[in-house]
Structure 1
Amino acid sequence: MIQVGDKIPAATLMEYVEVEGNGCSIGPNPVDTAKASAGKTIAVFALPGAFTPTCSAKHVPGFVEQHAAFQAAGVDEIWCLSVNDAFVMGAWAREQKSAEKVRMLADGSAEFARATGLTLDLTARGMGLRSNRYSMLIKDGVVTSLNVEGPGKFEVSDAATLLAQAQAGI
């Protein structure tokens, strides 16, 4: 499992873009994790699935609401990762009103989740291999804090916990 001090794995995530610009076309666009995190401080949170109850009611809204506070703490971007496709993540972004606040990034084949060792097998629930629920701060591609939830929990990966770590310079 990825640890504090490790570089994040090289992977290609997908982001659904609704407005053409900044070199991105409308529709799914690749996001190279190494290039996208270089020279930046990124608040990352990952979750089992888009449109799921805890994720939609608590996890994403907390980060959307705290966007300005994260910026004030020196965080350049907030990323939400889920093992869903870019079209689902795009629809969820619209529903969560996360535009310009949280980048909703699809890890459709669980490439990033597997590479971090933070997977969750929900096959018994008909959802297959998913990402575990966690949050982490990344500075220039290196993990500086990591908060991994226990099974079925939502206690340490919330926006308030990661924001406190960002404010403390962790």
Structure 2
Amino acid sequence: MLKVGDKLPAGALQEFIEVEGEGCSIGPNSFDVEKATAGKKIAIFALPGAYTPTCSAKHVPGYVQHAGALKAAGVDEIWCVSVNDAYVMGAWGRDQHTTGKVRMMADGSADFTRATGLTLDLSTKGMGLRSQRYSMLVDNGVVKTLNIEGPGKFEVSDAETMLAQAKQARA
């Protein structure tokens, strides 16, 4: 399992791009995790699924609300990672008003999630293999903080906790 001090696993995540530009076409685009994190401080939070209750009512809205404060604390980008396809993540991002604040990164086949060791098997609920709920502060691809939620909990991966950690890392 991924831990503080580890480098993020190699692989790719997908993001649905709304407007063509900067070498990206409209629609799903693939991003190499190592290249996308190089030289950047990124707040990453992961959750079990798009449009699910806690994720939609609390997790994503918290990061959208605190995006400015996180960037002021030295965070270059904020990523939401979920085991969903890029189309679903794009639609959910539109619904959650994440544009310019949170990048909605899809891990459609759960390859990145498996590589982190932070999987959650929700097969009995008809959702298959998903991601645990967690957040982490990553600096140049290296995990600096990691906040893993207990089953059914939402206590340590919220935006307020990440903001406090980003401020502390900057001090």
User: TM-score, normalised on structure 2?
Assistant: 0.99
**2:126 counterpart of 1:117:** no
Which letter maps to 1:127? M
Per-residue deviation, residues 11-34 of structure 1 (Å, max 9, x unmatched)? 111000010011100000001100
The answer for the alignment partner of 1:17 in structure 2 is 17
The answer for the alignment partner of 1:127 in structure 2 is 127
**2:84 counterpart of 1:108:** no
Which letter maps to 1:41? K
Distance 2:22 2:103 in 1: 14
Distance 1:4 1:160 in 2: 19
Per-residue deviation, residues 81-112 of structure 1 (Å, max 9, x unmatched)? 00000000000000000000000000000011
SS for the counterpart of 2:62 is helix
The answer for the alignment partner of 1:164 in structure 2 is 164
Distance 1:11 1:68 in 2: 28
Which letter maps to 1:17? I
Per-residue deviation, residues 23-62 of structure 1 (Å, max 9, x unmatched)? 1000000011000000000000000000000000000000
Equivalent residue pairs, number: 170
Per-residue deviation, residues 102-130 of structure 1 (Å, max 9, x unmatched)? 00000000011100000000000000000
Which letter maps to 1:82? S
Residues 1-150 of structure 1 aligned to structure 2 (within 5 Å): 1-150=1-150
SS for the counterpart of 1:124 is helix
The answer for the alignment partner of 1:155 in structure 2 is 155
SS for the counterpart of 1:58 is helix
Which letter maps to 1:30? S
Distance 1:160 1:112 in 2: 25
Percent identical residues:
70
SS for the counterpart of 2:93 is helix
SS for the counterpart of 1:138 is strand
RMSD: 0.6
User: TM-score, normalised on structure 1?
Assistant: 0.99
SS for the counterpart of 2:169 is coil
Distance 1:129 1:48 in 2: 9
5+ long unaligned stretches in structure 2: none
